[in-house]
Amino acid sequence: MQAAGTAARRQHSNELDEDRHSVILPVTEAESLAYTIRRRPCSRTQRMMTTPDAAVQARKKSEQEPVNVHYDIRLPDLPWSRRIQIPIIAAAVYSVIRMLGPTLRYEVLGWQHAERVYAAKKQCIWAFWHRVIIPIVWWYRNHGVVVMNTTAFDGQWTRKVIEWLGFGTAQGSSSRGGLRGLAVMARRLEEGLDCAFTIDGPRGPRYVAKPGPVMLARKTGCPIMVFHIGVERGKTFEKTWDHFLMPRPFSRTAILFAPPIYVPANATAEAMEAKHAEMQKELERVRDIAESWFSLSDEARTKHRAEFNRSNP
């Protein structure tokens, strides 16, 4: 009986040793399964030299799994020669804006529309053409406005510049990661921050509005506010897709804000299309007036001032 008891204790001890070699290292759910490794009893040195190959393979597999393009905000795999350019370009552009911005003189028309939105305890969803990004980021700096920003190379250095100027960013674009970016923007609007779209970005076509603001307005109840900026003296880079506008130092500018566009929460597909068309029309209207502002007669400018500064649209 003593021999039988000894044999039983040895068998029980071996079972405990085998259980002690069940190693679970929880990381993500997929990696947790991969890290569950059953080993046979071995020496401490052998255990230390064992590598979790299954975990490595699981991680590689998870990185290679396809992601829905509308939620994919992973940074592209850029060569080091491109990555090193990002902070250099960002620093150069930021320096230009910091030197140019204080010299610009702004005339603002239609801002009472935004004031009424804020008085109603709502936030604004700003929409403007990519062309005028330089004068607007200086005028509305340090307000925490969240801007939709692409993860492509241009978006990476742009993100640094606008964040240094006091803006927030939501990663995504119309071609990649857009729905994830809209979800982030919806949360920021609930937190009391405005959001903004360079509405024909990130790569055009020029002056063709994307549907993002209409979708966000329907979800949140916040209105779309469109505007454009005219510059007295500036350089238009016609070889760029957006006809990028660089104001000259000490130039006068005029910002024209249109009345808010509300999108009902129960809007149908047809209603959404109608609101998108309305946004496109307003963007074109304020662009045409602002771009011609400094070539208009005094009488014409006075008429437009009365129109844009009316208390009720």
pLDDT of residue 34: 33
Taking the model in full, what pTM does it have?
A: 0.74
**C-alpha 106, offset from chain centre:** 27
Question: What gap in Å lies between CA 247 and CA 225, rounded to an integer?
Answer: 23
In this predicted structure, the answer to whether residue 147 has a pLDDT above a threshold of 80 is yes
Q: Which of 74, 75, 208, 198 is CA-nearest to residue 145?
A: 198
In this predicted structure, the answer to whether residue 248 has a pLDDT above a threshold of 70 is yes
Between 313 and 231, residue with greater pLDDT: 231
Interval 9-35 mean pLDDT: 40
Q: Which burial class, exposed, middle or buried, applies to 50 when counting CB atoms under 10 A from its CB (0-12, 13-18, 19+)?
A: exposed
Question: What gap in Å lies between CA 248 and CA 122, rounded to an integer?
Answer: 35
- Give phi and psi for 248, each to the nearest 5: -85, 150
| DSSP codes joined into one string, 65-79 | S---TTT--PPP---
Q: Which residues of 58-97 are buried (b: 16+ CB within 10 A; e: fewer)?
A: bbeeeeeeeeeebebbeeeeeeeeeeeebeebbeebbeeb
pLDDT digits (tens, 9 = 90+) for 218-246: 999 999 999 999 999 999 999 999 999 99
pLDDT of residue 17: 44
pLDDT of residue 148: 86
pLDDT of residue 276: 97
Split at pLDDT 50, 70, 90, the class of 102 is very high
In this predicted structure, the answer to whether residue 312 has a pLDDT above a threshold of 80 is no
pLDDT of residue 50: 40
pLDDT of residue 202: 78
Residue type, 247: P
In this predicted structure, the answer to whether residue 9 has a pLDDT above a threshold of 60 is no
Interval 47-60 mean pLDDT: 44
In this predicted structure, the answer to whether residue 51 has a pLDDT above a threshold of 80 is no
Q: Mapping DSSP to helix (H, G, I), strand (E, B) and coil, where does residue 189 land? A: helix
pLDDT of residue 81: 82
Tokens 């062309």 sit at which residue? 131
Question: What gap in Å lies between CA 227 and CA 208, rounded to an integer?
Answer: 15
Interval 179-207 mean pLDDT: 90
Question: What gap in Å lies between CA 140 and CA 126, rounded to an integer?
Answer: 11
Pairing outcome for strands 22-23 and 37-38: antiparallel
- Count H helices and E strands in the chain, helices first: 13, 11
pLDDT of residue 245: 97
Handedness of CA 212, 217, 222, 226 (dihedral sign): positive
In this predicted structure, the answer to whether residue 151 has a pLDDT above a threshold of 90 is no
In this predicted structure, the answer to whether residue 285 has a pLDDT above a threshold of 50 is yes
In this predicted structure, the answer to whether residue 38 has a pLDDT above a threshold of 80 is no
Q: What is the 3-state secondary structure (H, E, C) of 116-166?
A: HHHHCCCCCEEEECHHHHHHHHHHCCCCCCEEEECCCHHHHHHHHHHHHCC
pLDDT of residue 52: 44
Interval 263-288 mean pLDDT: 97
Q: Mapping DSSP to helix (H, G, I), strand (E, B) and coil, where does residue 36 land? A: coil
